[in-house]
Amino acid sequence: MKARFSAAPLAMIAVGAALILSGCQSGSGAVAGTAPQEDVAAQVNQDQYATAFAAFSKCVSDAGFPLINAHLEGKFYDYAITEEGKRAADDCYLGFEAIDTAWQLQNEYDAPTQVALRECLTQAGVKPGPDVATVWKQLEEAKIDPVDCVEARVR
């Protein structure tokens, strides 16, 4: 059995919902275990992200569990791994996590989850806003469940 992972997980839905409910704006504060977002994200470029992902992939492969179908989907890496390899992937991800998190936050509007959410808004006749915080507010106002929206597009 394979587990599928993406560098832009559905967990970002929960983060976005928490931001809306708390009244915080996207892009403020720090990511746990990293420097404040603006400091880390400003330092991450495409080459650094690709290099860090390659190191993560090599680490998992060296542990005997090569990533399956690893590819760039838009700006984010997507891959699968066997159930047996999940522990190695978790261990190796620790070295990739800070750059991956910064990259995801820096490019959050282009994440597959955000693209799906904007598609739901468009389908509902709402022109998506220019940033993640606006999109989340629009979803809330349109009474669109973000989890149902994204899951419908993943199936």
Helix/strand/coil (H/E/C) assignment for every residue in 17-34? HHHHHHCCCCCCCECCCC
Per-residue pLDDT of 1-34, as tens digits, reads 455 455 544 444 444 444 443 333 333 223 333 3
Q: For the whole model, what pTM was predicted?
A: 0.66
Q: How many domains does the chain have?
A: 1
Q: Is 131 exposed, middle or buried (0-12, 13-18, 19+ CB in 10 A)?
A: middle
CA dihedral 17, 23, 27, 33 (to 10 degrees): -70
Q: At 99, which amino acid appears?
A: I
DSSP-assigned letter for residue 84: G
Query: Residue 50's domain spans which residues?
Result: 2-23+30-154
pLDDT for 75-116, tens place per residue?
999 999 999 999 999 999 999 999 999 999 999 999 989 999
**Is a pLDDT exceeding 50 seen at residue 148?**
yes
Query: Is there a contact between 138 and 121 (Cβ–Cβ < 8 Å)?
Result: yes
CA distance 37 to 57: 24
Residue 70: pLDDT band by 50, 70, 90 thresholds? very high
* Mean pLDDT, range 22-48, rounded to an integer: 50
